[in-house]
């Protein structure tokens, strides 16, 4: 296997006296699609904050292409659960914000962003305001903004959770197309097992703190996949059963803790 794009080595992290990660290690290859699932409070968002450089590990290394991820260095893109678009800025002005923050002149930023509107399915929205777009369209804008950071890894924190079922499926299919075209590495937090099975090369299952190891489920079904495959393919149904068993196990551990 080639050298990993992202390596997490012996990660330790505390919130106050609470130990979240203890000697946690894993790696992710270039252009993989990884989903992260697990119980609430198991450290999924904390892991994202560490990868984004918003928190520093108590101990251990987080390496991107072999280089330590430094505090707030901006080398990894982020798509939050809520789009966080600035309501008084037009769509194109929202999109170019990361370029402006890097000191790129507005005219040059426009030139970089403009050609992407067609491929992202946003052609004609450049001069609109966020309130004029649907939830799915806003998430496309958010994804484009993260892509324009130039980062090789994009972290997606439940980006479709607020969408209705039809819009969610459309956005899942759209994201897979973008991932294939843009050749990025994506790490997706989701609570939807079917979404994880549809999208992923591997699924990481987080455990309750202190987390020492990520349970990993490999998805062997070739691409392209459809939601019909998720419902009917024997290998995906087996993977889903494995995930459900893991969740039940974690639930039993949690129940014992609070008794």
Confidence band (pLDDT; 50, 70, 90) for 245?
Answer: confident
Whether this prediction's pTM lies above 0.75 is answered by yes
Interval 160-169: pLDDT, tens: 988 999 999 9
Interval 103-124: pLDDT, tens: 999 999 999 999 999 999 999 9
What is the per-residue pLDDT for 247?
80
> CA 136 to CA 212: how far, in whole Å?
36
Q: Which residues contact 219 (CB under 8 A, 6 or more apart)?
A: 197, 200, 201, 202, 203, 235, 236, 239
Interval 140-160: pLDDT, tens: 999 999 999 888 899 999 999
Angle between helices 165-182 and 135-147 (to 10 degrees): 20
Region 19-46: mean pLDDT is: 93
* Position 17 pLDDT exceeds 60: yes
* Position 254 pLDDT exceeds 80: no
* Position 259 pLDDT exceeds 60: no
């Amino acid at each position: 296997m080639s050298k990993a794009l992202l390596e997490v080595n012996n990660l330790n992290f505390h919130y106050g006296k609470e130990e979240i990660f203890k000697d946690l290690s894993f790696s992710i290859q270039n252009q993989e699609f990884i989903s992260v699932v697990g119980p609430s409070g198991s450290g999924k968002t904390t892991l994202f904050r560490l990868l984004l450089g918003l928190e520093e590990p108590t101990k251990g290394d987080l390496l991107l292409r072999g280089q330590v991820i430094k505090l707030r260095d901006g080398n990894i893109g982020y798509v939050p659960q809520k789009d966080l678009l600035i309501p008084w800025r037009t769509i194109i002005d929202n999109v170019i914000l990361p370029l402006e923050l890097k000191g790129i002149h507005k005219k040059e930023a426009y030139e970089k962003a403009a050609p992407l509107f067609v491929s992202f399915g946003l052609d004609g929205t450049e001069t609109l305001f966020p309130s004029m777009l649907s939830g799915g369209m806003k998430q496309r804008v958010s994804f484009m903004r993260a892509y324009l950071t130039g980062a090789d890894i994009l972290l997606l924190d439940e980006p479709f959770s607020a969408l209705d079922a039809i819009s969610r499926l459309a956005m899942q299919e759209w994201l897979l197309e973008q991932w294939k075209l843009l050749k990025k590495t994506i790490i997706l937090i989701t609570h939807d097992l079917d979404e994880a099975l549809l999208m992923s090369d591997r699924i990481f299952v987080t455990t309750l703190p202190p987390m020492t190891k990520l349970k990993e489920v490999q998805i062997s079904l070739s691409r392209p996949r459809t939601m019909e495959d998720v419902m009917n393919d024997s290998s995906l149904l087996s993977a889903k059963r494995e995930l459900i068993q893991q969740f039940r196990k974690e639930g039993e551990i949690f129940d014992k803790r609070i008794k």
